[in-house]
Amino acid sequence: QVQLVESGGGLVQPGGSLRLSCAASGSISSIYAMGWYRQAPGKQRVLVATVISDGSTTYGDSVQGRFTISRDNAKNTVYLQMNSLKPEDTAVYYCKATLWETTGWTLKDYWGQGTQVTVSS
């Protein structure tokens, strides 16, 4: 079993910054990708940022230029640095890890519990 432990959420004023962390542990063979998604009340869960095993990154349009995703492969940990936060960034942020199965040719997604980020004055 794989567990994802998230931390770093909280309340911040507009223009402020937060750094989210997500550490994967358990039966991990190889990580294909890790990333962050968010879901605001009444809305669909959407991509925030992902980083693939080759180091390439993808960002949602609404956060590009403000958020930065990074990884520490030795710790199986992914980070999300969030700067210039806006009220519309308020959401539950979920960590996702995509892992190779032991067969080596199939992928499986694992999700964290989510952490609340609230941007308000």
Give how far the C-alpha of residue 52 lies from the chain's centroid of Cα atoms, to the nearest Å.
12
From the list 45, 42, 4, the residue with the least C-alpha distance to 25 is 4
Contact 9, 32 (CB under 8 A): no
Residue type for position 2? V
Query: What pLDDT, on the 0 to 100 scale, is given for residue 103?
Result: 83
Give how far the C-alpha of residue 81 lies from the chain's centroid of Cα atoms, to the nearest Å.
10
Q: How does pLDDT run across 26-60, given as a tens digit for each residue? A: 988 899 999 999 999 999 999 999 999 999 999 99
Scanning the structure block, which residue is given the tokens 């999700």? 111
121 pLDDT band (50/70/90 cuts)? very high
